Amino acid sequence: MIELKRLHQIAVLAETRSFVRAAKMLGISQPSLSRSIQELERQLGLLLFNRGSAQISPTEICMTILEKGKEIQKHSKELSELIRQKKLMETGHVSLGTGLYAKHTLMDAVISRFAATFPSVRLDLNLCNWTVYRELLNDRKIDLFVGEADDETPDPLFCYHYLRRQQGYIVVRRNHPLTRIIDLTFEHVAEYPLASTKVPQRLFRHFPTSASLGEVDTKSAIFDPHFEGYLWEDMVTIVTNTDAVTFGAPTSISRYGGQLVCLDILLPWLHTNGAIVWRADTGPSPEVGALIEITRAVDETIQSQFEEWIP
């Protein structure tokens, strides 16, 4: 059996046709290379190189060995890479950024599955404003963002995998005054304060100009809600104890024992525009790549949990 080290030596020697040049490329002395090749020839009982006065040349059997050896070297590299990635997955670290609505509709299930599959990988979760995810990725403060990615033109610095669009609903406390209106419109809803993250222009352009929901930040063209927050539990507390409204889905409120309800009003423009986003320059590490794949898989299977999806 030919060791990979010696297979590499005869490949370099066959290419350079010189013990001196081959030894220099291999980083060993010329006598050491000569002894190694002679020992291999002795073990095989075959002549691998014709040694002339001017230069050496590989024999026919040497060329056959090298041709077969290419596949062996390929598999060896693949195995080394697999081992390298396995080691990384045992000691790795992922910094994940996610928005409010992605966290409680998607990422709780993703994080649970990732932690169960890769228990040795450290996962830092950063709940962040969707308006700053590009800055966080650029500064390498997070490796991956999952949430609202409301870019009119995708940034070439990043890779995007867009998630399924989920229909949103207006969520209020049980017995809220809005639940007693028969012909409910969004104009009725807009008379109450909004508890939410910052709202992108694609949504707030549908708000009435006289809305009590919050106000537009004219500098950034982003809507600041009356109550701004990035934890779903905070939104629930505010909505349960005040007349504020928030955005959500039936699955968002199912765990609260009827304290919250979705209003009977369908607003086609009220939907998520989520994506998985990571830097394009370096590509995802094995740990980040695994988290991306799990997020995509969960997003594919979670569809049945929602009442309505926008195609």
Determine phi and psi for 241, rounding to 5 degrees.
-105, 0
What's the rounded Cα separation, in Å, for the pair 161 and 153?
14
What is the predicted pLDDT for the residue at 226? 94
pLDDT of residue 235: 92
Q: What is the DSSP string of 41-88?
A: HHHHTS--EEE-SS-EEE-HHHHHHHHHHHHHHHHHHHHHHHHHHHHH
Token readout for 233 is 């539990």
Which pLDDT value is given to residue 85? 57
Distance spanning both ends of the chain, measured CA to CA: 59
In which residue ranges of the chain is pLDDT below 70? Answer: 1, 53, 73, 75-91, 150-153, 302-311
Please tell me the distance from the alpha carbon of residue 224 to that of residue 218, in angstroms, as a whole number.
10
- Dig out the tokens for 286 from the structure: 């094995």
H, E, C per residue of 162-218: ECCEEECEEEEECCCHHHHCCCCCHHHHCCCCEEECCECHHHHCCCCCCCCCEEEEC
Q: What pLDDT is stored for residue 310 in this prediction?
A: 37
Name all domains of the chain by residue range, CATH numbers in brackets: 4-89 (1.10.10.10), 92-166+273-310 (3.40.190.10), 169-262 (3.40.190.10)
Residue 82: the pLDDT is: 56
Q: So what's the pLDDT on residue 311?
A: 32
Give the C-alpha separation, 88 to 287, whole Å: 7
Q: Which pTM was predicted?
A: 0.64
Torsion of the alpha carbons at 133, 134, 137 and 139, rounded to the nearest 10: -110
- pLDDT score, position 243: 96
Which pLDDT belongs to residue 77? Answer: 67
